[in-house]
A and B are shown apart, each in its own frame.
Chain A
Amino acid sequence: METLEKTLANVEVNAEGYLKKIVLTDKHFEVINWLRAKQAEGTALSMRKVGASGLVDIKQFYALFPGGPLKISSKIAGIPKPASCI
């Protein structure tokens, strides 16, 4: 299986670059836990909110969860996909 080296995680991708498997680091868990906490509070989540969280900037967020960061991270966090356009 081809792997794609990202700054903070090893991400397995298929021939076309689609996400196969993601190795979760502490940073991933920080983001995931933050998402879960915010969701439990009832905050509407968006890309911009994650960028302003102080945990990661938007570029790092894309690097952690390539191929749709908010979608993939919320899936791993076990929360509904945020209904956000931004």
Chain B
Amino acid sequence: MQDVLERPVTELEEVPVNEDKGKLKKVLIICSKGKLEDVYAALVMANGALMEGIEAKLFFTFFGLEAITKKHADHLHTATVGNPAFMPGMPTMVAGLPGFEAFASYMMKKEMDKLEMPHVTEFIQMIEAGGGEIYACKLAADMFHLKQEDLLDEVKGIITVGDMYALAEGEGSQIIFI
């Protein structure tokens, strides 16, 4: 031991240098919610990543699956109840009246159209065109009795949680959960 301590340090171990300074290369975005604003957050981030040359994968689970069903993809709603940031001052009882949520969602979509935001199905097509990959969660699909044919054509497959983690493999990869 004494010998080791007294011996001078002659050689420094070579530390590997990260040449690209931790550049973001891939994102895996998990969308677990089916509200209009949450789904759009996932879509905008995935598409935005592709626009910057970052690889993007999307994984829809639980209520997020609603966004990739042929039936409901373009008919998502925003929540008017339990959402204090939505029209502050609006009494919960009023926000819960029949038709209110549909009306609010309609208004929201109108505003989005003004900004030329694509509808969900078109957005998904854009993401696929950019090389993004879209997957559905097997467990949630089983739970909601959804099959591949119920989902949009761009959905590459219904996969397990393990497969999902495999999608995020590699250096410079991040997982985003919504």
**Alpha-carbon separation in the docked complex, A48 to B113 (Å):** 13
User: B126–A48 contact, CB under 8 A?
Assistant: yes
Does residue A3 face the partner (Cβ distance < 8 Å to B)?
no
Closest to B116 in A: A48
Find the residue from B51, B116, B131 having the highest chain A CB count within 10 A: B51
Does residue B52 face the partner (Cβ distance < 8 Å to A)?
yes
The interface of chain B, by Cβ under 8 A from chain A, is 20, 44, 47-48, 50-53, 116-118, 125-126, 129-131
**Please, what's the 1-or-0 string for A45-86, where 1 marks a CB less than 8 Å from any CB in chain B?**
011110100000111001000111111000000000000011
User: B126–A71 contact, CB under 8 A?
Assistant: no
**Alpha-carbon separation in the docked complex, A72 to B52 (Å):** 9
Chain A contact residue count (CB 8 A cutoff): 20
Closest to B117 in A: A86
User: A58–B52 contact, CB under 8 A?
Assistant: no
Find the residue from B118, B125, B129 having the highest chain A CB count within 10 A: B129
> Least Cβ distance of A46 to chain B in Å?
7
> Least Cβ distance of A6 to chain B in Å?
12
